[in-house]
Structure 1
Amino acid sequence: MSSYEDRLTEVEQQVTDLLQRVDELEQQAATSASPPQPTFQIDPTILGQMRNREGPPYEEEGTRGAVTYAGALHTHGAQYEWQIERPAPGLLQLEPEPLAHVLAALGSPQRLLLVRALLSGPRNRQQLQEALDVTSAGQLYHHLKELLAVGIIEQRGRNDYRLEPRKVIPFLTLLAIALDLTNLK
């Protein structure tokens, strides 16, 4: 073989190797951008208990059932655990306005980023501005005001904020529910 043919073979191999690397990187990018995959294992004990709830408050006007959620999180040295069950008829009878206020308070990407930043612990104004990548304290305070009003975050002193501990697992559950309501897989 001539040196030209050797060189051509070498270039062909390099192109093949590069194409393989591009494929691998694309697969990694697709995998890392994917939301967490749900676990669809149904606990028959819990589901059976909820299915068998009878009488008030679990059964009213032809509706019977319950909704439960739970979670455990260990992050940045803090441990959060939560489990709660709600009778379905009561959920369907709730006044929509207070619920809409909570959902609206969390209904902006900036506020979701704020709450996520507070998951790692208390933060001051400057740290929260950096997390949001905003230069105006006014923009930050606008978002903080909405989250404070519905009790998702707490102000601990003049310039310190934290996620209200009893709201950590419900917040993560709300993210999981929003994910389940979208077309993301």
Structure 2
Amino acid sequence: MTNQDRLSALEGRVRALEARLEHADEEAAVPTGPGREVLWALDGLHARVDDPGAVMLVGSVRLPDGRHAEWQQGAGTDELVGGDWTASSDALAALGHPLRLRLLQQVLAGVDTVHELTQIDGVGTSGQVYHHLRQLSSTGWLHALGGGRYEVPVARVVPLLVLVLGAGR
């Protein structure tokens, strides 16, 4: 084997090692386990969507009553910015009252009857509670099960939690 052949073989091995190292760096950047990078979902969105971008809501939640809410929705920036925002005004307005948010939080936590809700300090009379429950039900944030029982529909759990999370920023 000539020096040139040995040099070519060595260069090939170095290229192969560099390629493996590059691939190892990419694998290390993929978040796994409990200590994963906080922005892993954003990194995935960047990899899939071109400018001007998109918004995505995603969540997986196990509720106290055993239901499992897995939900994902996304839309392009142009679609969102150019859309009719007023179509969401009733649903957002229903969340604009502190007592309604408190009632939603309690129902989501497993308190599901009007009787139980009226026992919570500061929620008011049963008439006031029913008034707020009607507002939440008419906009889809709550679903009446009958017998004075309510639940947050599974399709609304993640959007509700996303709104609460986003409002706290």
Q: Which TM-score applies when normalising by structure 1?
A: 0.63
Q: Residue in 2 aligned with 1:149?
A: 138
Change (3 A) 1:135 1:68: closer
Shift of 1:137: 1.3
**Structure 2 counterpart of 1:41:** 39
Q: Which residue in the other structure is 1:123 paired with?
A: 112
Offset of residue 157 of structure 1? 1.2
* Distance in 2 between residues matched to 1:72 and 1:129, nearest whole Å: 30
Note the 1:20-99 alignment, pairs <5 A: 40-43=38-41, 44-50=43-49, 52=50, 64-76=52-64, 77-99=66-88
Q: How many residues align?
A: 131
The alignment partner of 1:123 has SS state of: coil
Question: CA shift at 1:114, angstroms?
Answer: 0.8
Which is worse superposed, 148-157 or 113-122? 113-122
Instruction: Tell me the SS of whatever aligns to 2:96.
Output: coil
Q: Which runs of 5+ in 1 are unaligned?
A: 1-38, 54-63, 181-185
Change (3 A) 1:65 1:46: closer
Which aligned segments of 4 or more residues in structure 1 are displaced greater than 3 angstroms? 131-135
Question: Which residue in the other structure is 1:114 paired with?
Answer: 103
Paired-residue identity, %: 28
RMSD: 2.0
How many angstroms does 1:122 deviate by?
6.0
Instruction: Output the TM-score relative to the length of structure 2.
Output: 0.69
Cα distance between partner residues in 2 of 1:156 and 1:100:
25
Q: CA deviation at 1:98?
A: 2.6
